[in-house]
Structure 1
Amino acid sequence: MASLLLSPPSTPSLLRGAAAPRVEWRPPTIVGSYGGLAADLMAAAGKPYEPWQRDGVDLMMSTRPDGKWACYEYAEWVARQNGKGGLGEGRALAGFFGRGEELIIWSAHEYKTALEAFRKIRRLIRALGAPLTETLVDVDGVMVKISNTNGEEGFERLDTEQRIKFVARSKGSGRGFSGDCNIIDEAFAYTPEQQDALMPTLIARPNAQIIYLSSPPLTGDTGEVMFELKARAEAGGDDSLGYRDWGIAGHLDDRAAMNLDDRGLWAQANPALGYGRVTEETIGKLRRSMTSNQALGFAREVLGLWPKRVAGGGAIDMARWVDLADSMSKRRGDVALGVDISPARDYASIALYGVRDDELGHVQLVDYRADTGWIVARLVELKAALDPLAVGMGRGTYASLKTDLDKVGLTVPEDPAKPKRGELAVTTAVDMAAACGHVLDAVKQGTFRHLGQTQLDEAVAGARTKQTADAIAWARKDGATDIAPLVALTVARWAYTTRVDLIVTDDGPNLW
């Protein structure tokens, strides 16, 4: 029978993860399941399922009376490090060894995540059989070929030519592929455009299935596919959707009113708690260390709290922004710093801009803290450590910090045409308008990369542009958003591009 289950948080005396997700939808057509096949394979490979994983794979691989999957789509939303990838691993092995699926596609937003999934399944396959060579494993008489080629990682059964392939959506390598089983890892970065490209290709697959695995979306402007699945499930589901969400109830905007120290909430959001992988001690350490921005990161990443969905209207296309994330990005050589303070002066940001070896720009949020008293001392530290070309900021920020900046020798150039390394670069209204426009263009053109940092993502999602006379400037879409990280990025990039060829050294300006 179809059911939508809403379970209240548990408060066990011996802290262990919740036995059931807060929200669960089971289609009404279930008569059986191949979940046992996946569980047996994982156990044989030395990675037995925890109870919550076994329940999940049973629902994921449930069947209708005609033998087809009851869950054409299956979504599992759970906090990081709980083991949601294990559900995908068992599902892939079951399709490969027991269900005759011709092609299983495992896609992730970033290549490194897809590669990590490949390595985990490679270990499982080797554990199930006897490795004959580095690239050939005998699994009970089934010869499995391993492809380790960069960008072509995967497995192939030599008897049936069944394959498991691993692709990175951010590089476009997932487009054009359609599998009998399609595992969408990092679904928070899975876009409607990617969904639209995939779905029509499944028409020719008689028993296709799509598996979505993720923690909650980064911002209310992203994760459209996840938000749609959430809405379908919470509205009562449908006869082809399986859905489980372990995150606590509410929205990120309301976290200040929540007791984030409630162990019952920890248990609800972390079903692996108490089974070895996740411990109460570890969550406690995260709670104490993830306190910035009213514990935003802890609430989302550890407690699975969703952002409130935001209709479009932002200045920056969040799908494009997410595609520019590269957690491994590193700059080389010179940098510039940028500083901004929120209008209420309750938070401040310092960002950095440089250039990578591949000539793409590199941006990152260097520091983000409450209040403003720390800014100047931190700039002194960063100047000593990084020797920046310049330190950029807007006129208002400069005016409010000028006295303290003067005391530590952070000043504007005596001759604007001959700035020295490390001097201030203060924008005019026209400069800021140009800087905003350059960032908008750079996002559209994909000419820089960022690290995917929470506060910067939130700022980008919450920013719009406003017209001031004949210029534009960043503005907040709503009163709750702090866009200082984006403004700091903007002035850091502007400071770099305007100063890199002008800096006066002992040998004269940098005329490359």
Structure 2
Amino acid sequence: MTSLLDGPPAAAPDSPLLGSQLPRITTVPPTRVSSAGQEAVELAALAGLELDPWQQHVLDMGLSERDDGRWAAFEVAVNVPRQNGKGGIIEARQLAGLFLLGEKLILHSAHEFKTSIVAFRRIEQLIMGCPDLRKRVLRVRRTTGEEAIELVTGQILRFLARSGGSGRGFTGDCNILDEAMILGDDAMGALMPTMSAVPNPQLWYLGSAGIGAPSMQLGRLRARAMAAVESGEPDPSLAYFEWSVDPHRDECGPGCTEHASADDPRAWAVANPALGIRISAEHVRNEQLSMGSGGIFERERLGVGTYPSDGADTWQVIAEDAWRALTDGDSSMSDPVVFAIDVTPERSHASICAAGYNGQAVHVEVIDNRPGTGWVAGRARELTEKWGPRCWVVDAGSPAGSLLDDLKRALRPEQDDEESWGDGDDVALLAPVVTPKVREIAQATGQLYDAVVAGQLVHLDQAPLATALAGARKRDLGEAWAWSRRTVGVDISPLVAVTLARWGLNAEIEEPEEEVEPWADFG
């Protein structure tokens, strides 16, 4: 069963605009003969969770069964903009796993701990608020990092945060991966082997539009769904549901009807099944005015994502074999250590990377690659106090340049009083902050490239850095080149930060001039 649906039917002139209850992009395995979805919907209603038609549709298709009783879909993916109600699907699936399907262990993971905790509290309220379900609960664990609900019959629902490395080694009958747009090879590599011994496992991915390199796994699932749609042959093990629009291209003429316009309420309805239910058209209009035309509204509300590619267009600058050959899982840095910061153009992610010597080679490492930028300054302070780096490197002309004042403020010695702070340039910081010129950035890029070719660089084969290199492109700077920041679908901030950190090992550092007290005061 595959389709590319045109969107919701036209509403009557005086009726509110309602979101499409069917996804624009979908594929379901052809082996479906029955479904546990209706029972899951009825159980959710018993617990006080009334599901929208689109949520019921996902459960019906996602819980399809083959004639041998096994799941038709090993993997179920829901790609829908925020605040539409994917949490209701998660909760209904968890209730079904615990109370209907007899799944011994259900693992719910999210990228961040706080998201996992919110999900735990929501399902706990549903279960404990329903007498018929509450009486089957043996215990509820609320210890931080050990949150779980256990039934008297032995079924367990556990909540984990992927960013902390939790869940490795747990064998779940059902694994629910929330925030699926932040899910890469490391997490999947830890998860997949644990499911090989499970008789009838199922993976559920739930998230919103892809945000570039962190969306590696979601990109793979979407590529499989698109291939099924284009070929007319359903994917044999994937149920995929995406609410999104196909936006206008630069070459579209004024009368184009094939692609969607961001200011067209009909496009909002195609991408948001909860429009007119829990999301109002007025709110969407306000979002559009607030987010502007930089692509954020299209991603967050219209489901227009960017996804990494596994195709032949990868590894164009540095060959994958050459990069992998430099892997040393036991490598570490020795003093001096340099840290560098970079931020994506749309400011969705930031990276802190480090470089230091390992014998004759230079060790490079991704320290942090996280959503947003608000965490950077505080983390820089922690790293500085722990490592005492030679310097921090930030390209002042890049998106990371806006963090310079916050960085310097974070690196300011605690004993300095606020009145003497100024812009920080005249204060002896805990570590110097270096801002390379354009020619020095070109030199840094060339030096990293040469080090790879000469085998004078070692790394830990971290996924964010490998993904960045796989999609990296060159940006011409006359007779030199640097990394292109505008490569579609790729977060290259780890690569840029590693490049700057390596350069910083030999960069000239201007020491702040000491203010000399006059030996006499002439009034």
Contact kept, 8 Å, 2:105 with 2:155, in 1: the verdict is: yes
Displacement, 1:355?
A: 8.2
Query: For 1:5-25, what per-residue CA distance to the aligned partner results, in whole angstroms no more than 9, with x for missing partners?
Result: 211133434311002111222
Matched, 1:199 2:206: no
Q: SS at the partner of 1:115?
A: helix
Structure 1 residue 248 corresponds to structure 2 residue 245: yes
Contact 1:459 1:481 in 2 (8 A): yes
1:232 equivalenced with 2:234 (yes/no): no
Point out where structure 2 has 5 or more consecutive residues left out of the alignment. Answer: 254-258, 324-348, 352-364, 385-391, 412-417, 453-457, 518-523
- Partner residue of 2:143? 149
Q: Separation in 1 of the partners of 2:166 and 2:52? A: 33
1:349-377 residue CA offsets vs partner (Å, 9 max, x unmatched): 633363899x9xxxxxxxxxxxxxxxxxx
* 1:307-456 aligned within 5 A: 307=306, 309-310=308-309, 311-313=313-315, 324-325=369-370, 329=375, 331-332=377-378, 339-340=396-397, 350-352=402-404, 354=407, 387-390=422-425, 427=437, 429-430=439-440, 433-434=443-444
User: Secondary structure, in 3 states, of the residue corresponding to 1:242?
Assistant: strand
CA distance in 2, matches of 1:302, 1:36: 29
Partner Cα distance (2:120, 2:60) in 1: 23
* One-letter amino acid matched to 2:219: F
Percent of pairs with identical residues: 36
- The alignment partner of 1:324 has SS state of strand
Output the CA distance in 2 between the equivalents of 1:169 and 1:89: 19
Structure 2 CA distance for partners of 1:355 and 1:47, relative to 1, 3 Å = farther
Q: Give secondary structure in 1 for the equivalent of 2:18.
A: coil
| Paired letter, 1:354 | L
User: Are the aligned partners of 1:476 and 1:483 in contact in 2 as well (CA < 8 Å)?
Assistant: yes
Which is strand-richer, 1 or 2?
A: 1
Deviations 1:20-47 (A, max 9, x none): 1112222222222222232223223322
2:215 partner amino acid: G
Amino acid at match of 1:242: A
How many Å apart are 1:252 and its aligned residue? 8.5
Distance 1:349 1:278, change over 3 A: farther
Change in CA separation of 1:488 and 1:233 when aligned onto 2, cut-off 3 Å: closer
Distance, in Å, in 1 between the alignment partners of 2:511 and 2:117 is 43
Match of 1:17 in 2: 19
Closer/same/farther in 2, CA of residues 504 and 99 from structure 1, 3 Å limit: same
Distance of aligned partners of 1:228 and 1:142 in 2 relative to their CA distance in 1, 3 Å threshold: same
Residue 99 (str. 1) matches residue 91 (str. 2): no
Contact 1:74–1:211, Cα closer than 8 Å, also in 2: yes
Q: CA deviation at 1:306?
A: 2.8
Give how far 1:244 is off: 1.0
Match of 1:66 in 2: 68
State the SS of the aligned residue for 1:139.
Answer: helix
Q: How far does residue 184 in structure 1 lie from its aligned partner after superposition? A: 1.3
Contact 1:351 / 1:492 at 8 angstroms: preserved in 2? Answer: no
> Does residue 1:301 correspond to 2:300, yes or no?
yes
SS in 2 for 1:24: strand
- 1:379 maps to none
Q: Deviations over 1:112-156 (max 9, x none)?
A: 222221122122122223xxxxxxxx8353133111111111111
The separation in 2 between residues aligned to 1:499 and 1:94, in whole angstroms, is: 62
**How far does residue 462 in structure 1 lie from its aligned partner after superposition?**
7.0
Q: Secondary structure at the match of 1:206?
A: coil
Letter in 2 for 1:128: C
Among 144, 168, 176, which residue is 1:183 paired with? 176
For 2:489 and 2:251, locate their aligned partners in 1 and report how far apart those are by CA, in whole Å.
11
Q: When the two structures are superposed, what TM-score results if normalisation uses the length of structure 1?
A: 0.68
CA 1:473–1:80 in 2, change beyond 3 Å: closer, same or farther?
same
Q: Could you tell me whether the CA contact under 8 Å between 2:394 and 2:400 is conserved in 1?
A: no
Rounded to whole Å, the distance in 1 between the matches of 2:178 and 2:94 is 13
